């Protein structure tokens, strides 16, 4: 496998380069030629002119292209350029398939592409996917693709974009192009090896919030408030024509199946709903994220060291535009070291496509590094002693942008953690009884109200157990209040072990406790109360004291008030005391 990279700004330069390089003669001795065009221009004519010239020079070539949000050549960012990457394969077959999204829904289109790949191609070693996220729901497309995919092979690629974010991406395959659709390049053979690494580098900036309403790619509300309000409140971002550029550095972070994702906003509408590049589900927890340049660059070095061991003959990078936006002039610190390993080309994407196990997913805000080689590669294997190390600049004033941002991100992270811990402690103190650490009466009242609302809405049931320690005044009078406190603390520990996690235990009064039992009828609560009564009677409390309790039990009756409910269980407890204590009464 041999790789060549060319950067052009005019058709004349391409024509001249082909004439001087005699690349058409060189290509004849290879089984396949794979040509990628990464262009800042989304003009179909520009792409087709390049394709036509390349087709004449290399008739057997498989030519693909994408409009970009920044081009990468030899590991470095180029702006307003066109990068052409040539990969010559000795033993690998390549086939391209283009699916237009016109008049098609995304999921069936994805399934159709996957089925075409597996029906038409054999001995698949990997697949590159390019898509147009501006004009289609790539998440939905990939659901269909996963449904139609029977074999497990690496999949990688990215979403085409454009510099002006006017939602006019372009992808091409040979002499065809589309602004809405996807294409696949299938690599086939036993000697082609593909290795994929991806990493994020974003860190939480805000508190955790919950997605409460969505519609496809649109997030309507977060914490039951308009989604846009989150970005306005925290970041003072306005709902105007610059929304995309202002919000680009601040994706929402979430964890799904143990994997951390970043979701980048695309646009905001007049209802203050936000459209994202990939889907976010109702009920998922999110927070606003911000990239830590130091983490990104160090993580890139880790990946580069792994790639050195793989010893590739070519590296393709698919990096999210928000990374370029964040790192600015220092973006090459992340990408340039790849070129020291193997020829490196790629583009800044509007979303990255990557296989994770059997699933192919659309990522955001990530760097995707794809290494390729045929056989064991012809480059010398780089030993451990040549591992990529931290770059030590002779000028102490360079790279201060990334250092300052990293320190600010770390500062915000620490302050946010301190505030969250303080708020959590404040909530705990507000909800808990100081002595026993059972919930207090106010929290129990709130819990009962929620259960009443839930039972009335969904026709469910719940019950309550109220218990009071028998002759507890005598304990305090005989052994002192410290002994009484020890017994109360011990009782709460015992009760906590005997109830379910969904039940709530609260200290209702001095030595009076209330247990709320969701999804439990009267008989179930009575059995639980009787079991607890017997255990308490057999328990030796601190200072080797014995103790009994009286129990009142009731079940909620639909549409009754909280006062009626609590009054009934209180009366049941009073009746248990009147009957001689150490017993259970239902009412």
Residues annotated as catalytic are 511
- The DSSP result for 349-390, as a single string, is ESSEEEEETTEEEEESS-EEEEEEEETT-SSPPPPGGG----
**Distance, CA of 492 to CA of 570 (rounded, Å):** 19
Q: What Rg, from alpha-carbon coordinates, does the chain have? A: 33
Contact status, residue 353 vs residue 138, Cβ threshold 8 Å:
yes
Contact status, residue 68 vs residue 160, Cβ threshold 8 Å:
yes
Residue 297's closest CA among 267, 319, 314? Answer: 319
Q: Are strands 252-256 and 259-263 parallel, antiparallel or unpaired?
A: antiparallel
**Distance, CA of 225 to CA of 213 (rounded, Å):** 9
**Distance, CA of 340 to CA of 330 (rounded, Å):** 17
**Distance, CA of 109 to CA of 143 (rounded, Å):** 10
Q: What are phi and psi of 497, to 5 degrees?
A: -70, -25
- CA 98-187-303 angle, to 5 degrees, is 110
- The structure tokens listed for 52 are 């036509």
Place of tokens 């082909």: 18
What per-residue string of b and e applies to 487-506 under the rule 16 or more CB within 10 Å gives b? bbbbbbeebeeebeeebbbb
Residue 73: count of CB within 10 angstroms of its CB: 22
């Amino acid at each position: 496998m041999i790789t060549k990279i060319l950067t052009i700004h005019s058709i004349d330069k391409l024509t001249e380069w082909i004439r001087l390089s005699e690349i058409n003669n060189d290509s004849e001795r290879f089984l396949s030629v794979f040509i990628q065009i990464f262009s800042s221009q989304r003009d179909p004519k520009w792409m087709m002119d390049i394709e036509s010239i390349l087709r004449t020079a290399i008739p057997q070539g498989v030519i693909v292209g994408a409009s970009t949000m920044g081009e990468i050549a030899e590991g470095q960012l180029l702006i307003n350029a066109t990068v052409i990457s040539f990969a010559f394969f000795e033993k690998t077959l390549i086939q391209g398939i283009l699916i237009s999204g016109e008049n098609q829904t995304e999921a069936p289109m994805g399934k159709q592409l996957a089925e075409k790949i597996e029906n038409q191609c054999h001995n698949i070693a990997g697949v590159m996917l390019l898509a147009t996220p501006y004009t289609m729901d790539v998440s939905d497309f990939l659901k269909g693709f996963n449904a139609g995919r029977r074999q497990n092979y690496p999949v990688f690629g990215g979403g085409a974009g454009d510099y002006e974010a006017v939602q006019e991406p372009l992808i091409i395959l040979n002499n065809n192009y589309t602004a809405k659709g996807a294409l696949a390049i299938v690599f086939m053979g036993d000697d082609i090896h593909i290795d994929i690494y991806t990493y994020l580098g974003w860190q939480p900036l805000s508190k955790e919030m919950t997605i409460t309403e969505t519609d496809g790619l649109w997030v309507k509300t977060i914490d039951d408030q308009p989604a846009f309000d989150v970005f306005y409140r925290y970041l003072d971002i306005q709902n105007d024509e610059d929304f995309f550029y202002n919000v680009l550095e601040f994706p929402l972070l979430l964890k799904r199946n143990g994997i951390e994702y970043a979701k980048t906003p695309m646009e905001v509408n007049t209802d203050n709903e936000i459209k994202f590049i990939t889907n976010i589900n109702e009920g998922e927890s999110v927070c606003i994220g911000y990239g830590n340049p130091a983490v990104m660059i160090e993580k890139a070095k880790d990946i580069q060291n792994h790639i050195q061991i793989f010893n590739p003959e070519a590296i393709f990078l698919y990096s999210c535009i928000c990374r370029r936006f964040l790192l600015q002039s220092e973006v090459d610190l992340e990408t340039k070291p790849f070129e020291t390993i193997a020829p490196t080309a790629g583009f800044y994407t509007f979303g990255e496509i990557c296989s994770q196990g059997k699933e192919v997913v659309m990522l955001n805000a990530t760097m995707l590094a794809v290494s390729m080689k045929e056989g064991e590669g012809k480059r010398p294997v780089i030993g451990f002693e040549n591992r990529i190390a931290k770059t030590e600049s002779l000028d102490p004033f360079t790279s201060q942008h990334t250092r300052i941002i990293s320190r600010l991100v770390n500062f915000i992270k620490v302050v946010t953690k301190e505030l969250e811990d303080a708020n959590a402690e404040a909530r705990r103190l507000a909800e808990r009884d100081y002595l026993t650490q059972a919930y207090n009466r106010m929290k129990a009242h709130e819990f009962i109200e929620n259960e009443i609302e839930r039972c009335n809405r969904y026709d469910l049931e719940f019950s309550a157990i109220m218990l009071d320690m028998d002759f507890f005044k005598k304990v305090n009078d005989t052994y002192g209040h410290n002994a009484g406190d020890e017994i109360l603390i011990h009782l709460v520990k015992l009760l906590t072990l005997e109830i379910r996690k969904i039940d709530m235990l609260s200290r209702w009064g001095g030595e009076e406790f209330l247990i709320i039992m969701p999804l439990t009828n009267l008989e179930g609560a009575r059995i639980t109360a009787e079991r607890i009564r017997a255990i308490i009677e057999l328990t030796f409390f601190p200072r080797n004291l014995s103790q009994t309790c009286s129990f009142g039990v009731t079940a909620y009756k639909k549409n009754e008030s909280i006062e009626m409910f609590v009054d009934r269980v209180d009366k049941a407890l009073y009746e248990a005391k009147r009957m001689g204590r150490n017993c259970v009464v239902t009412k």
